[in-house]
Amino acid sequence: MNPFYLILGSEGALSDRALSKLTAQLKEEKAEATTIFAADALLGDISDALAPSLFSERRALIIKDLQDLPEDSKDEVIRYLSEPDEMTTVIFVHKGGVKGKALLDAIKKIKPEIIACEPLKKEAEKEAFVKELFLDSGRKASPAAVAALVGALGGDMRELQQAVSQIALDSPAGSIDEAMVDKFHQGRLQTTGFDVADATLDGNLPTALISLRSAIETGIDPVMVTSAIASALRSLAKVSGSASGAKSFELAGQLGMAPWQIDKARRQLQGWTPRALSQAVQAIALADAQVKGAATDPIYALEKALATITAARSAR
C-alpha cells in the first residue's frame, strides 16, 4: 500500500466504500490501525499515533473529517508529512470544500493517492457504482437490473448500497435480473418513481395521481417522487436536443444515458413541445422546493404539480 491516501469528496457512500476497501487491505497486511475523528483530536494524539514503532510493526492511521481538525493538531500532520515512517500508512478523509484547505493543499503536495468521492450526477455513473457494489458482494447483475434499481431509488447512494446488500444476500445463485430486483423490493421499484413519472409525462393525470397515492402509502418520501419526475424531464430535455437520426447506442456516451433510456425518452417526447417542457420543469422545481419545506401540505403541492405538467403537455 501507499504511504498516504486522500479520500476526498462529499458523497459519504463513496467515501465509506473507499475506506472500507483500504481497511480490508490493511487487515490483509496485519496492520494495526488507529482511527481518529478530527474534531475530537487532542494535542499530541496524532503525534502519538504516528510515533515510530519499537518493533517495526505495520501500522496505519485513519483521520476522518479532516476538515474539522483543530489548528494545534494540524502542525502534527505537517511535521509528519516531511518525515513519514515507511511502516505506516496514513489515510486522510476530507469532505471537500474550502474548510481546512491549507492543510489539504499541503497533503496534496506530497502526492498521495487521491480517491475522488464527489456526488454522482450521471445515470451511467450511478449504474457503474451499483454494478461495482454487486461485484463487491460477489454477485453479478444484468444491465437491466442495475438500471431498474437506479431508476427506482434515484440518487440516494446509501439507499442503493443497502438495496444491493439486501438483494445480493437474498437472491438465489446466478446473475441477478430485473425480476429479482422487483421481487425483493416488493413493488417499491414501481412506486418510487417509474409509475408516477411515466403517467405524468404521458399526460395521464388520473393514473399519475393513483400512482402517487400508492407511493406515499408505501412510505416513499415525496422528495423521491419529485426527483424521479425531474430526472425523467431532464432525460426528455437531453434527448430533444440530440440528432433525431442518430441511433440510441451512438448517443449513449454523449448524453450520459443508457440506450434504453434514450429510446424511452424519444417515445415520450412525441407528446411534448419545447414550451411545454419548460413549463413542466418550472412546475416540478417549484414542487421540489415545496415538499422540502416551503409548503405545509407537500402531497397537495405534488398533486398540483402533476396537474400542471399534464396540462402543459395537453396544451400543445
| Residue-wise pLDDT tens digits, 28-81 | 988 888 999 998 899 999 999 988 776 768 899 999 999 999 998 999 999 999
Q: Which helix (H) or strand (E) holds 63?
A: strand 59-64
pLDDT score of 189:
44
Cα separation, 167 vs 182, in Å, equals 10
pLDDT score of 251:
83
Residues 6 or more apart in contact with residue 148 via CB below 8 angstroms? 178, 181, 182, 189
| pLDDT above 50 for 1 | yes
Written as nine digits, the cell of 112 is: 498521495
CB atoms within 10 A of CB 301: 20
Cα separation, 282 vs 44, in Å, equals 54
Give the three-class secondary structure for 89: strand
CATH topology of domain 123-184: Helicase, Ruva Protein; domain 3 (1.10.8)
pLDDT score of 185:
62
Compute the radius of gyration of the chain from its Cα atoms. 24
| Residue-wise pLDDT tens digits, 147-160 | 888 877 766 787 78
Sort 275 into a burial class: Cβ within 10 Å, 0-12 / 13-18 / 19+.
exposed
Round the average pLDDT of the chain to a whole number and report it.
86
Give the whole-number percent of the chain exceeding pLDDT 70: 94
Give the three-class secondary structure for 32: strand
| Residue-wise pLDDT tens digits, 257-289 | 778 888 888 888 888 999 999 999 999 999 988
**What residue segments make up the domains of the chain, in order of their start?**
4-116, 123-184, 194-314
Q: What angle do CA 49, 54, 58 make, to 5 degrees?
A: 60
Sort 227 into a burial class: Cβ within 10 Å, 0-12 / 13-18 / 19+.
buried
What is the sign of the dihedral through the CA atoms of 154, 156, 157 and 161? negative
Residues 6 or more apart in contact with residue 187 via CB below 8 angstroms? 218
Choose which CATH entry (3.40.50.150, 3.40.50.720, 3.40.50.300, 1.10.1270.20) describes domain 4-116. 3.40.50.300
Residues 6 or more apart in contact with residue 73 via CB below 8 angstroms? 38, 41, 42, 43, 45, 46
Predicted TM-score (pTM) of this structure: 0.56
Written as nine digits, the cell of 35 is: 482511527
Cα separation, 96 vs 89, in Å, equals 21
Written as nine digits, the cell of 103 is: 492543510
Contact 149, 160 (CB under 8 A): yes
pLDDT score of 160:
84
Choose which CATH entry (2.102.10.10, 3.40.50.1370, 1.20.272.10, 3.10.450.50) describes domain 194-314. 1.20.272.10
| pLDDT above 70 for 191 | no
Written as nine digits, the cell of 196 is: 408516477
